[in-house]
């Protein structure tokens, strides 16, 4: 009987300790409405939506005009327009009639200043298009590194094209 009582008391003590530890491990959760940190600890402040002009790839590369609009997801800030060019050097064979590219935009804080995305972005592109197609872009750069684009983006496009290139994109504020 003493052995059974001792086992019951030990089990009750262990259950109590486990329940206390589980309660102690519950941490408060915080709901954040607009902050989405990226790998560089930035805050997602909006999206850069780009329309890329059609054109042909000439085996060693291509250059196409680009028109972009920044749309803020923070506050009631107005949109900001950019113009520029995407240049590719590498295997780029075929043609596209138009393309659309959307990047998430990150900043160290939730603020944005007009023209802050102006600059040169460099990286690589891989695309395959037969009628409708997709591409992936890895571009890094911009201004002094304060505001940056999501590193990897996906392109939707129409045409007949295959590309694996080094890529640069230059953006200039239109406003």
Which tens digit of pLDDT belongs to each residue from 94-144?
Answer: 888 888 988 888 877 766 778 888 888 888 888 888 888 888 888 877 766
Is residue 3 packed enough to be buried (19+ CB in 10 Å), middle (13-18) or exposed (0-12)? exposed
Q: In total, how many domains does the chain have? A: 1
pLDDT band of 175, cuts 50, 70, 90: confident
Q: How confident is the model at residue 85 (pLDDT cuts 50, 70, 90)?
A: very high
User: Beta strand pairing status for 43-72 and 119-142?
Assistant: unpaired
**Residue 60 · residue 89 · CB < 8 Å:** yes
Top pLDDT among 22 and 170 is at: 170
String of DSSP letters for 101-151: EEEEEEESSS---TTTT-EEEEEEEEEEEEEEEEEEEEEEEESSSSSEE-S
The Cβ of residue 22 has, within 10 Å, a number of other Cβ atoms equal to 9
**Exposure on the CB side of residue 55, measured as CA atoms within 13 A:** 18
Has residue 20 got a pLDDT over 60?
no
Helix (H, G, I), strand (E, B) or coil at 96: strand
In a domain, 90, yes or no: yes
pLDDT at residue number 17: 40
5 within a domain of the structure (yes/no): no
Range of the domain at 136: 43-173
3 membership: H or E segment, kind and range = helix 2-25
| pLDDT of 167 above 80 | yes
**What is d(CA 175, CA 172) in angstroms, rounded to the nearest whole number?**
9
pLDDT tens per residue, range 21-53: 334 333 343 334 444 444 445 788 888 899 999
26 lies in some domain: no
8 A C-beta contact, residue 97 and residue 127? no
Residue at 69 is within a domain: yes
Domain contains 133: yes
Task: Answer yes or no: is 4 within a domain.
Answer: no
Residue 113 counted as domain residue: yes
Question: pLDDT for 52-68, tens place per residue?
Answer: 998 888 878 889 999 99
């Amino acid at each position: 009987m003493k052995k059974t009582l001792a086992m019951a008391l030990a089990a009750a003590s262990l259950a109590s300790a486990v329940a206390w530890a589980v309660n102690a491990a519950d941490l408060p959760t915080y709901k954040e409405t607009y902050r989405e940190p990226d790998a560089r600890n930035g805050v997602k402040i909006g999206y850069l939506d780009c329309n890329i002009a059609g054109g042909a790839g000439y085996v060693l590369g291509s250059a196409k005009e680009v028109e972009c609009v920044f749309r803020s997801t923070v506050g009631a800030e107005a949109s900001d327009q950019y113009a520029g060019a995407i240049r590719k050097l590498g295997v780029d064979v075929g043609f596209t009639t138009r393309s659309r590219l959307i990047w998430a935009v990150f900043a160290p804080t939730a603020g944005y200043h007009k023209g802050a995305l102006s600059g040169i972005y460099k990286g690589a592109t891989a695309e395959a298009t037969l009628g409708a197609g997709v591409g992936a872009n890895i571009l890094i750069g911009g201004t002094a590194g304060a505001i940056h684009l999501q590193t990897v983006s996906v392109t939707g496009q129409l045409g007949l094209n295959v590309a694996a290139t080094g890529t640069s994109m230059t953006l200039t504020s239109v406003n």
